[in-house]
Every structure is written in C-alpha cells, then in structure tokens.
Structure 1
C-alpha cells in the first residue's frame, strides 16, 4: 500500500513539474522602433524603393549626382535573438546604418540589446567597416551584428 501511495504521489508531482515548466518565449515583433544612426543628411526616399541586393555596375561620373543605395545584411540567429542590419551607402561611404531585425528571446537579452545597439551603430559610422569593438556584456549581439553588417558591406562592394 505504501508503494502505491508513493507511486501516485510521485506521478502527480512529476506531472505538475512538467506543466509548470516555462520555455523561452520568441517574440513575433518588436513593439519599440529599432535603433538607427545616420551621418549628415538622411535620404528622404522610402527604403522599399531602393534595391537591397543590387551592386552598382559603374561608378557615377562627376556630372551625375552621387547614387545612394540601401543594402540588407544576412539575418543572423544568435543564442539570444535574431539580428539583421541595413546600411545606406553613398559614394562608397556608409551614411546610415540601422537594424532591420533586432529580436531578443528573453527580457534580459532585450535589455542588453537596448544598451548595445546604439553603440554598435555609432561605431560602424565611425569605423566605416565591420571592424568594430565588441560591446562589453553583449558578445553574442556584437558578433551577430558584425556578421550581418559584413554581409551588407559585401553586397555593397565595400
């Protein structure tokens, strides 16, 4: 009889433990706008009219106006979220950099991303390359950002 009571109690405790187990939630969309950084003037053309993967075939001549193009980096899934970078290039210079995606799989990652994102964007504009420092405490975000940024720079031919 004692074995039966212990078996039933153990089974009930196991079922309760399984039902109370919480997995990490994956947000479908960010509620807050994604961070962006720009140098000088901001392009007034909407991003949807600018090709994201087209590479200019000829350099603009001195009589033509400089071409501004937007390039989308690869979407990088890290251990704590998804990162995708978008850059705007004018005359082989990065004039704007922003996040097309910056999701976090938990609240702590959101907090880390909100701290790291502006620093990464500003460093990109200063360095004009993907050779930027890792933000302290945000190594996964920094690594994913650099990978996505490099793929956008590769598409831009920079």
Structure 2
C-alpha cells in the first residue's frame, strides 16, 4: 500500500509539472501582454549593409540603423551622438513574436544598450541566450554609426 501511495503522488507531481511548463511557441492571450520594446512600423528586412536615415540638429546627430533580419525576428536601433560621443541607443524593433522572445529581450536589450554606451562603439559582447538579437543589434548599430560618420575615440 505504501508503494502505491508513493507512485500515485509521484505521478500527480509529474502531471502538475508538465501542465505548468510554459513553452516559448505559445502566444499569451492575457490582456496585459503587450509586445515589449517594439515601436514604430517594421520596415522591409535588410541585410544591415545599407545606410539608414540621419538627422542633424546643432551638435546632435540621430541615425537610424537598418532593419536587420535575424532568425528570431527583425532588429533595428537608433543611435544619438552628441559632442563626439554616443549618448543614447534606442531599440526601434526587436523580436517579439512570442513570450520567450519578449522575456529574453526584456533582459538583453538594456544590457546591450549599457555595453554600447560604455564601449562607445558597436564592438560589444553578445548577451548569453540572446545571440540572434545581439548580432542584429550590433549590425544595426554599426550601420547607424557608419551613416552618421561616427569615429570611436580610443
């Protein structure tokens, strides 16, 4: 009788764990689930080699990187440069097709921004677990910096 009770409890525990596992392929139907970090329309995907738009106002330059297509979705950033320094990197588009992508990018994008501002270039390390986003982020950022004719100071 004792073995049957243990087997029954173990089976219930496994079933509960299986049903509580959240997959990354499902969509979240809750009303509070909104795409994280996505703003503006998504432009046609590019390879990251073309130049984006550049706006200059006084000593401030704002350059949009191209939309870079990754295996997880499109990535695009905008760089603000003032006084010969990168002052801001804004994500325009990041992968957000499912909950897992939103969770990963909620953590990865701020880390990539911090590293880019600290390095004052697009030569930054990829974020573990967000390799595709990291690669798209650095390609879009480098193209934005190139189109703004930004030269990193040593």
TM-score range, shorter chain: 0.5 to 0.7
Please tell me the root mean square deviation across aligned C-alpha atoms, in Å. 2.6
State the match for 1:88 in structure 2: 80
Residue 101 of structure 1, CA deviation: 1.1
Runs (4+) of structure 1 moved beyond 3 Å?
30-35
Q: Tell me the CA shift for residue 109 of structure 1.
A: 1.4
Q: What are the within-5 Å matches in structure 2 for residues 1-158 of structure 1?
A: 31-33=35-37, 52-53=53-54, 67-158=59-150
SS in 2 for 1:86: strand
* Aligned residue pair count: 108
The separation in 1 between residues aligned to 2:143 and 2:71, in whole angstroms, is 19
Structure 2 unaligned spans of 5+: 1-24, 28-33, 40-51
Q: Evaluate the alpha carbon distance shift between residue 32 and residue 80 of structure 1 in structure 2; reply closer, same or farther with a 3 A threshold.
A: closer
Pick closer, same or farther for the CA change 1:152–1:113 going to 2, 3 Å. same
- Counterpart CA distance in 2 for 1:33 and 1:133 is 20
Change in 2 beyond 3 A, CA 1:111/1:31:
closer
Listed one character per residue, the Cα deviations across residues 78-136 of structure 1 (whole Å, up to 9, x for unaligned) are 11111100011112210111111123222211111111001000000000001101101
* TM-score (normalizing by structure 1): 0.60
**Whose radius of gyration is greater, 1 or 2?**
1
Return 5+ residue gaps in structure 1 as ranges: 1-22, 36-50, 57-64
